[in-house]
Amino acid sequence: MAGDPNAPHFPRSAPIDAYGKGGFAFAGMSHRGSLLCLPDAIWAWDVTDPVKIDRYSLDRVFAAANSIDTLLIGTGTGLWLPPPQLRQALKAVRVVLDTMQTGPAVRTYNIMIGERRRVAAALIAVP
């Protein structure tokens, strides 16, 4: 999917139907690259390595914090511990952070949106 980086790929949340081969499938569409899934839209996310995750890369999460209780970060195939300042910044806007590999993050995200919970997911694409 290409186009305006300031426009969402999908105008609401949706379960992730498949992941792998460098992308994701959702809502009858496919996307190559990482995704940022918010309660109001699904966006392309330019992060490919967890060490690049910071407040700036999560600007859309902070902007939508009033509609998010939990942020799941799918870290690709490896594990990552977020820096304390990022965890504190999210806590200040009342968003709980949970990090895990992308596969478990996708499964957890799908369960949580199925339960209509206020969840967002930042998912690094996996090969």
Answer whether residue 57 shows pLDDT above 60. yes
E strand or H helix that includes residue 72: strand 70-74
- Given a cut of 80, is residue 61 above it in pLDDT? yes
Determine whether domain 16-123 maps to CATH 3.30.365.10. no
The pLDDT tens digits of the residues spanning 8-23 come to 667 688 999 999 999 9
Angle (CA) 80-32-124 rounded to 5° is: 10
The position carrying tokens 């690094």 is 124
For tokens 């977020």, name the residue.
82
- Which pLDDT score, from 0 to 100, does residue 7 have? 66
- Per-residue pLDDT, averaged over 96-106, amounts to 98
Q: Does pLDDT of 75 surpass 90?
A: yes
